[in-house]
Amino acid sequence: MARTHAAAFQKIPGVELVAGVDGRADVLAQFCDTYGIANRFETLEEALAWGGFDAAANVTPDAAHHPTTLVLMKAGKHVLCEKPLATNAADAREMAELARKSGLVGMVNLSYRNVAVLQKAAGLVASGEIGALRHFEASYLQSWLTQPAWGDWKTESQWLWRLSTEHGSKGVLGDVGIHILDFVTFAAGSPVGELSCRLKTFDKAEGGRIGDYTLDANDSFTLQAELENGALGTISATRFASGHLNDLRLRLYGTEGGLEVLFEKQAESLRICRGQDLKTGHWTEITVDPVPTVYERFVAAVRDGAPAEPDFDHGARLQTALDLAERSDTEGGRFLKP
């Protein structure tokens, strides 16, 4: 993800990458050499003592988001933080409060906001094109635990840490569940009002461990949710969806029509069924123009005061829902409210 951030920011006119921070000297050198970054620091404290930057992209593991973001913002730096914003709602709310009080831009990288058809679907729902929302179905499907398209998860640390709570992972729920929760709540224009969730961790190695990594983070989840606007639906995600590398699906059904949002094999599509087409079940494809990326929106927010969306407040609301999902699972899937 650090490479993704660096490449994206370097495409934006007037943006300069001036420093990198990593405690691993070899990784830092390779990264900075690749992207032509001159200043290199082993610790965040060293970078802040130097201070020659306006904003930071926080691309640390999940458990490090909270402490590193607080340090950056207390030093007056704008922050684009990777998702999830934190590993618990209390920490996420602290980050959101600090961003508000300091007047700094705090945005969370929910990268699927870059999917133009999702933005269009949200607009259609908000304008009443499918009437009052009643039902939804959403899924995030990955299969990197069943095939090596992105590398061998059994031997590569960038995958193993995602399977270990000791290394800061919240499992598939925190890793991609936050994306599909955002997919739903953003398109529906309403946060979660109540939910029930079950998590599942599958046996993947003898003794449940590979080297320094205990493989105890959740691999799959299913979730039922009622949104504050009254819509009811299901949300699921897994790393065992054989045949799907990285696919997101969302279906929204209202009193006057339906929408289908797909992002599969890096291609996006949007279909609608409404009006007289409801009688025959005919769906019409909607063509959508590209939208600004989260990186472009972050720069616009820092430079021009443009809306910081999705902001830390939204990230905190999503983390509240994730916390509820974990708690619901420990209580046998009981429905819970924020």
pLDDT digits (tens, 9 = 90+) for 202-260: 999 999 999 999 999 999 999 999 999 999 999 999 999 999 999 999 999 999 999 99
* Sign of the torsion formed by the C-alpha atoms of 174, 176, 181 and 187: positive
pLDDT in tens, 18-49: 999 999 999 999 999 999 999 999 999 999 99
Distance between CA atoms of residues 140 and 219, nearest Å:
12
Q: Is 153 left (phi over 0), alpha (psi -120 to 50) or beta?
A: alpha
Query: Topology of domain 112-330, per CATH?
Result: Dihydrodipicolinate Reductase; domain 2 (3.30.360)
What is the per-residue pLDDT for 239? 98
Q: Which of 190, 184, 180 is nearest to 132 (CA)?
A: 190
Q: Using DSSP bridges, classify how beta strands 133-142 and 232-238 pair: parallel, antiparallel or unpaired.
A: parallel
> CA angle 163-222-322, nearest 5°?
65
Residue type at 9 in one-letter notation: F
| Both tokens assigned to 67 | 């402490």
SS3 labels along the chain: CHHHHHHHHHCCCCCCCCEEECCCHHHHHHHHHHHCCCEEECCHHHHHHHCCCCEEEECCCHHHHHHHHHHHHHCCCEEEEECCCCCCHHHHHHHHHHHHHHCCCEEEECHHHHCHHHHHHHHHHHCCCCCCEEEEEEEEEECCCCCCCCCCCCCCHHHHHHHCHHHCCCHHHHHHHHHHHHHHHHHHCCCEEEEEEEEECCCCCHHHEECCEECCCCCEEEEEEEECCCCEEEEEEECCCCCCCEEEEEEEEECCEEEEEEEECCEEEEEEEEHHHHHCCCCEECCCCCCCCHHHHHHHHHHHCCCCCCEHHHHHHHHHHHHHHHHHHHCCCCCECC
Query: Topology of domain 2-111, per CATH?
Result: Rossmann fold (3.40.50)
Cis peptide upstream of residue 148 (ω within 30 degrees of 0): no
Q: Which residue ranges does the chain devote to CATH 3.40.50.720?
A: 2-111
Q: Which of 152, 202, 192, 214 is nearest to 172 (CA)?
A: 202
Q: Which residue ranges does the chain devote to CATH 3.30.360.10?
A: 112-330
What is the per-residue pLDDT for 87? 87
Does 63 score more than 90 pLDDT? no
What is the per-residue pLDDT for 38? 96
pLDDT in tens, 100-153: 999 999 999 999 999 999 999 999 999 999 999 999 999 999 999 999 999 999
| Both tokens assigned to 224 | 């039922």
Q: Is 265 left (phi over 0), alpha (psi -120 to 50) or beta?
A: left
What is the per-residue pLDDT for 174? 86
Cβ partners under 8 Å of residue 210, min gap 6: 154, 160
